[in-house]
Amino acid sequence: MNLPPPIEAYFAADREGDRQALLGCFRPDAVVTDEGRVHAGRGEIDAWWRAAKAKYKHHLEPLDWSETDGAARVRARVSGDFPGSPAELTFAFRRQDGRIVALEIGA
């Protein structure tokens, strides 16, 4: 699957547990929305990602993707230490200047 470069880099960094590479995928002013909470800026995104990895020990496997209305939507299998694992979630990415400016994760 050929994902756009910053999105491919996001999934690769998550898979490798590379926090610095993952943060480098995001613009400094990026926003992540996950589990009903908004995480703004790289500092909050870093804290969100580290807490989620520690709590869920999750693994992401992109299954397919499409792009509409300026958003790349990646359907991914998420497995880890949580009820209902594995689950399929949608990762909706918005990009600007070659980096992720927004990511919303949901069903």
Q: Give the model's pLDDT for residue 64.
A: 97
Distance CA 20, CA 44 (A): 13
Residues spanned by the domain of 19: 5-106
Residue 91's SS3 state is: strand
CATH code for the domain of 55: 3.10.450.50
Residue environment code for 31-67, b if the CB has 16+ CB neighbours within 10 A, otherwise e: bbbbeeeebeebeebbebbeebbeeeebebebeebee
Q: Give the model's pLDDT for residue 1.
A: 84
> Which tens digits make up the pLDDT trace of 29-51?
999 999 999 999 999 999 999 99
| pTM, two decimal places | 0.95
> Which tens digits make up the pLDDT trace of 44-88?
999 999 999 999 999 999 999 999 998 999 999 999 999 999 999
The tally of domains found in the chain comes to 1
Q: Give the model's pLDDT for residue 71.
A: 94
Q: Give the model's pLDDT for residue 10.
A: 98
